[in-house]
Structure formats: structure tokens, C-alpha cells
Structure 1
Amino acid sequence: MKLAVVLIALVAAARAQQNEAWCRCAAFITNDDDETMVYEYPEIPIDSCEEHNKCKNKCITEFNEYSGYGDMWAMTEDGITVGQSICNTLTGLHHPYVHNHYVYGYYEVCGGPWEYTGLASTGMLCCDDGVQEHCIE
């Protein structure tokens, strides 16, 4: 009997976790053959997996607050520029050289597809051997 109660409790807990709704926000750059996530914001709780607009709006706020409205030269709380933070990430992903790329904001609801927020950096990102540089177009 006790085993049955424990099993029922485990199944209920698993179902509750499946029903949790969440929102993910991230910044990506576009390459010729793929998209690369360059920054992921903390997960945002939402009430339902149907709340796409709420998720999108919260991600727009996150993108704007972190990047100074898309400014790759804005300073982060870590004392480096947004662009340098992204160059550091790209170096860790074996992409230390990036030239003339915009950074785009995306959101994901409950594990669905990434969707574009409509936001992009105001200037392009350039990394030369992992160091942010001003882009020459």
C-alpha cells in the first residue's frame, strides 16, 4: 500500500513539472549556415504555455536592459561591454573571429521553437581573436 502511495506521488510530481510553464530569452547571431546563441537570460516564469506575448514582451525588456537597447558598447554589471561578453562566449564556442554581425533577440515558450522578438543590436558586432573591436563596414 505504501509503495502505491509513493508511486502515485511520483507520477503526480512528474505531471506537475510537465505542466510548469516557462519562458526563455536569448541573443543570437546569424551565420551563413546556422544560428549561434551568444547570450541566454535567466528563465522567466509564466502562468501558461499560451502566454507567447507575455514571454515576448519580457524578453524584449531583458534584451533592452542588458544591452542598453542593443548597444554592443554598453557596459555590463561585470564591467565589460556587452559586445566583449558576447565575444567571450563566442571564443568559448570556437568562433573567436566574428565580423559585421547583428545580434538578434529571441524567445522560446515551454520548449517550443525560438521566435524572433523583432529586436536587433543597433550596431554590428566584431570580434578579433575574442576581443571586441569597432566594425569596419
Structure 2
Amino acid sequence: MSLSGDVCLPHNMKWFLVILLVTLLGVTFVSGLDEPWCRCGLFVSSRYSEIMVYEMPEIPIVSCTEHDICRGMCRNELCEYTDDLNLWAMVGNETVGQYVCTGLYGNYYYFIHNRYVHAYYELCGGPWEYADLTSQQMLCCNRGEHEHCISK
């Protein structure tokens, strides 16, 4: 203790506390700048990975604790856009399945046979979580072309 009653800290400990304080203030400031967001996507499972084949535009939300709201909004948008994840529903001039097969082909997945498409959501940069929505039919793609699955 010093004569004034203050606690004396070693010189390197003072610098450590200053750096710690600045770091905490910086992290707090930067995290305060981020707007909460919700992302929705369609994925196909392969033997070794999950492949994102479509991503919807971000959905604005109020807080990063709104898992149920994010999941619900994702399900609603994907159901509306894909006719309840019907791979043979038309979106514009192509089927939902054709959009998926085109996305897979663009990522060097040339053949997909008897796979379901699953909906996932991501909240504020967290992990992708299953949105309780799976395609009505299995997906089969042959060199980027959506085809009916005729064998097991």
C-alpha cells in the first residue's frame, strides 16, 4: 500500500488493465452496432456434409433471442415461396427442384439421388438450426437437371 492508502500495482499490471478495459469497450461498441438478423436457407445432406442450395433474403428481427420468431418466419416464407417445399411446384419458369439442382451443379455436385431438402435458419450469426420443414419429395439431380426419382 502507498502512503495515501491507494493500492500500488506493478507497472505491467497497470498496462494489462488498461488494455483489458480498452478491449472490453471496443467489443461492447462493435457489438452494439450490429443489427439483429435472421437467415433462411435450403440444404441437402450428402454423406459427408450439408450443402446450402438456396438462401432467402435476410429477415429483419428485433433481437437475437427470437429463435421461435426467426424459425416461424423462415418456415412461412419458404412454405409460401415453394408451396410447402414441393420440389415439383413452379417458381417462375422452373420447378423448386430445378433451382436446387442448379445450385448443386454450380457447386460441383453433379449427381444427387434420393435426398430430401431441409430448411434451416440462422439467428445473428449463430449455428444453423433445423426449421422443422423437409421437402415433400426426394430430390434427384442428373448433371444439374431435376428428375423424378424412380429407383432406390
TM-score (normalizing by structure 1): 0.86
Aligned to 2:15: none
CA distance in 2, matches of 1:130, 1:96: 6
CA distance in 1, matches of 2:122, 2:77: 14
Cα-to-partner distance string for 1:78-122 (whole Å, 9 max, x where unaligned): x10000011111110000211101000100000000000111000
Aligned to 1:45: 60
Q: Which sections of structure 1, spanning at least 5 residues, go unmatched? A: 1-10
Residue 16 of structure 1: how far off its partner (Å)? 4.1
Equivalent residues, number: 125
Q: Does 1:128 align with 2:142?
A: yes
TM-score (normalizing by structure 2): 0.78
Q: Which has the larger radius of gyration?
A: 2
Cα-to-partner distance string for 1:62-85 (whole Å, 9 max, x where unaligned): 1101211111010113x1000001
Q: Which sections of structure 2, spanning at least 5 residues, go unmatched? A: 1-25
The equivalences for 1:1-137 within 5 A come to 14-18=30-34, 20-77=35-92, 79-136=93-150, 137=152
CA distance in 1, matches of 2:135, 2:149: 13
- Structure 1 segments of 4 or more deviating over 6 A? none
Quick one: percent identity of the two aligned structures? 48
Aligned to 2:16: none
Two-structure CA RMSD over aligned residues (Å): 1.5
